[in-house]
Chains A and B, each alone.
Chain A
Amino acid sequence: MEVTITINGQEVTRDIEPRMLLVHFIRETPGLTGTHWGCDTSNCGACIVHLDDKAVKSCTVLAVMADGREVRTVEGLERDGNLDPIQEGFHEQHALHCGFCTPGMMMASRALLDENPDPTREEIREAISGGICRCTGYVNIVNAVRWAAEREAEIKQEA
């Protein structure tokens, strides 16, 4: 069946099998391979994207369920050549090693800051707990999200 999904502002239309997972649609059709697949059971969070501004695991959503809706992926974080403060924070705070979980972690973190611009460390830990990182031990991911929250507060103040 034919579906149209808006991914990072671009409409993508394709005739697909109804069983196709959203994560595969994103990776194959526009070729946005920043969204990763890491488990079969919705446990790892490497596939987290925003579906209508809400963080979802795209391995647990059928592409047909996203028909007519908006998806934002890691490739959509950077805008007009400017990194999102979350992306900067991950770099500044050494919050990634192998980089495989990073897109999912950043999308979960972005969704948190959109709802709660000044989260505590515990709130951050809770927000990213749907993802697994095997490399960092999470401390620096929490630091990165705090860094981004503070950076965004500064930007707001400047504006």
Chain B
Amino acid sequence: MATTVENLPSPGHERPVGFGRLKRKEDARFIRGKGTYLDDIKLPGMLHGAILRSPFAHAKINSIDTSAALALEGVAAVMTAKELETLGLAWMPTISYDTQAVLAGDKVRFQGQEVAFVIATDEYIARDALPLIEVDYEPLPVVVDARKALDPDAPLIRDDKPGQVDNLATPTWEAGDEEATEKIFAEADTVTTRDVMYPRCHPSPMETCGMIADFNPETGQLDLYNGNQAPHVHRTVYAHVAGLPEHKIRIMCNDIGGGFGNKVPVYPGYVCTIAASIVAGVPVKWVEDRNEHLTSTGFARDYIMHSSIAAKDGRITGLKVDVIADHGAWDSTAQPTKFPAGFFHICSGSYTLDAAHVKVKAVYTNKAAGGVAYRCSFRITEAVYLVERMVEALATEMEVDPIELRMRSFIGPEQFPYETTTGWTYDSGNYAETMKVAMEIAGYEELRREQAEKKERGELMGIGVAFFTEGVGAGPRKHMDILGMSMNDGADLRVHPSGKAVVSISAQTQGQGHETTFAQIVAEELGIPPEDVEVRHGDTDKSPYGLGTYGSRSTPVSGAAVSLVSRKVRDKARLIAAHMLETRPEDLGWEKGRWFVKGDPEQGAAIEDIALRAYSGESLPTGMEGGLDAQIIYDPPNLTYPYGAYICVVDVDPETAQVSVRRFIAVDDCGVRINPMIVDGQIHGGLAEGLGIALMELISFDDDGNCLNSSFMDYLIPTSMECPDFELGETVTPCPHHPIGAKGVGESPTVGSPPAIVNAVIDALRQGYPDVTHIDMPCTPDRVWAAMQGRPEPPQ
């Protein structure tokens, strides 16, 4: 049975045994500066690595001379592709079944590509050695614009791939019914068409990527310290790529300074660090700098979308979209194997469309690879941005209020589970209700009146709306895998004789508060106070196998595993309690923390007494093993589908074109909330990232393929000055198939906020410039100004 909002403790509860606003357990070390991030770790005899990177976006490598670097005092070794070839490590597979160079041998294919790896006695010396390496490059023509990548005269980027004759990375992938969609469009009253771009941006967690590899030549044991979002999968990848025995590899993540999808992939720097430690026989540390992080690790988005939306009888009826995806020099986008465009085909949104059709084609360009999900469940961010921009544009064309059009077209609460036209089964929802809560908090009617008044005075105030449905918690074994591994998660619960417990999970926190939230799930299920439940994670030797944390999957998958493993323990506890109380198990009732005799509730056994009994010398039910432990691997039957209604109010300065977000109202329905404080915090953070994407964050390139946003001077991240005091609201519609009714929330705000903000900016501009029909992100003053002058340009 799913937990409902009625039996949640009040939000003010300070020390809940179970769900509620519990302060975080992990804070104790962080507020004292005692976290253990990768660069905080020092091992005896450790050498330091640094990477030489390509200054060119596309160039043939004629020769590499490392002699001067090797001659520098303190340099232990310099590795190039030649050395890696002897180890069979010059190339490695990507997460999308492509290959990528670990170190460039034949040529470089993007600026910032890894060319050589130096190890030295300290980091300063390792970096001193980099300019001493002489590389003879022969520059080649460059293609940076995905729209030109398939031109007949475009330079061939992937000449390493047998049979590759052009820059097509993945052939056209389709979802939905094209014929049915064309029919809907032919019958439509209104059709609106737009070119919409989701430009390249970068997750840029505050801690960059890095690794310490510690290979023990005597035992063959390889210890890896590396903050990544999926340690178990990484272990399997290293075993397959490097041919190392998996049982001799241990990955320890410790504390991670943010991930946001960027720390899902295996990067060439990791493979170099491992190879260096194996060759040198000592620990090797490599930590990239911010420039390296922004220019070479997983970017996000880069979707160029051409779309049309149709309406009939005042309701949205159809959507079609044709996408060119820019995957960079390697196809290393992150998504389940059978979904080359991720979950983009959820772009039919929250509406009862009669038909939809999606086509996605991906190309190679001379840009860094990635296509990671920056706080997003596999391209859902692009999908939601597209549909919510198109709905807004359609409403403008129909001269109907954008909320009114959405209300007319929403999937009704009675229609769930709802099969969408592109093949998803939405679990539960009451969209109109959530939309109304947002309107109420915003004071929507009053805002529209204020806007009209301001328009009279020549002021540009905009109100933007977005309504999103996400599919998170990937995913069911029957539909999804990554690199052949099922997207399941394990949980292992041990209740000690004193009634205190350790739960080990395969999810990997990067700041989400798992040490608190997962303890609360055990507390809710077993009545053991959360402070008495230790959550273990981030060490592949100490946690069960699972696919890790991204795609908002921790609560939907790992959370379900923890809930169900607790119930397994509770079931065993019932048998022991019945034995202790000399009654039948079916005569017992459960209240949090205690089995009691239904007919005589005073008679009962608390979980800690049952735990002691389970390990003691006293008798147990016939045939029962001692101890109070359980293990589980959870295979989710479906994704979960959180949703939300967002309203944004912006003011655009008519003279400087500066956009300021005055208010942002976010009403999320993520099902049951385990720790509402943490949920609110996740929403705040996601909104800030969405605001950054909508207004500031852009990775762009010049015609030669030089990255123009390779530091925080140029890659602009919102500070406290740009973010308003976000206004949150909630509705709770439990997930019917999740054991505690939770849906996951971490990425919803990043998914939902960019369209709300862009819709608001366009709405503001239209108060003075009614010809403005679209503006691409990020809405920086220069780009907003250009739109006001009637010459909007997509970003480079």
A residues near B, CB below 8 A? 17, 19-20, 27, 31-41, 43-44, 46, 73-75, 77-78, 83, 87, 90-92, 94, 96-103, 106, 121, 124-126, 128-142
Contacts and interface: CB of A to CB of B under 8 A. Distances in A.
A74 B711 CA distance: 26
Contacts of B685: 97, 134-137
Given A91-B28, A98-B256, 14 more contacts: A38-B257, A44-B206, A73-B33, A87-B31, A98-B205, A103-B33, A106-B31, A126-B721, A129-B720, A133-B688, A134-B688, A138-B720, A142-B720, A142-B725
Nearest to B719: A129
A21 to B, nearest CB: 10
Contact of A91 (B23, B290, B291): B23
Contacts of A140: 681, 684
A44 B184 CA distance: 51
Interface in B707-737: 711-713, 717, 719-721, 723, 725-726
B726 A134 contact: no
Contacts of A126: 720-721
B513 A38 contact: no
Contacts of B26: 99
Q: SS class of chain A's interface: helix, strand, loop or mixed?
A: loop
A89 B725 CA distance: 18
B687 interface: yes
Interface stretch (B35-43, B333-341, B587-595): B35-43
Nearest to B255: A99
B257 A137 contact: no
Interface in B276-335: 289-291
B712 to A, nearest CB: 4
A132 B716 CA distance: 10
Contacts of B31: 83, 87, 90-91, 96, 102, 106
Contact of B206 (A106, A134, A142): A134
Contacts of B511: 96-100, 135
B712 A98 contact: no
B291 A40 contact: yes
Nearest to A102: B30
Given A40-B290, A129-B719, A134 B124 contact: no
Contacts of B124: 17, 19-20
B688 to A, nearest CB: 4
Contacts, number: 173
Nearest to A73: B33
A106 B34 CA distance: 14
B40 A134 contact: no
Contacts of A20: 124
A55 to B, nearest CB: 14
Contacts of B33: 32-35, 73-75, 77, 103
A82 B608 CA distance: 33
A19 to B, nearest CB: 7
A90 B255 CA distance: 18
A91 B22 CA distance: 11
B684 A134 contact: no
Contacts of B290: 38-41, 44
B454 interface: no
B512 interface: yes
Interface in B679-701: 680-682, 684-689
B711 A39 contact: yes
Nearest to A138: B720
Nearest to B27: A91
A44 B720 contact: no
A134 B30 contact: no
Nearest to A121: B725
Contact of A43 (B39, B40, B712, B726): B712
B677 interface: yes
A151 B46 CA distance: 45
16 contacts: A19-B124, A38-B257, A39-B711, A41-B712, A43-B713, A75-B32, A87-B31, A94-B24, A99-B35, A99-B511, A103-B33, A125-B721, A128-B720, A131-B720, A132-B717, A138-B720
Interface in B30-74: 30-37, 39-40, 42
Contacts of B260: 134
Contacts of A139: 684, 723, 725-726
B258 interface: yes
A97 B512 contact: yes
A39 B712 contact: yes
Nearest to A128: B720
A43 B711 contact: yes
Nearest to B510: A98
A134 B720 contact: no
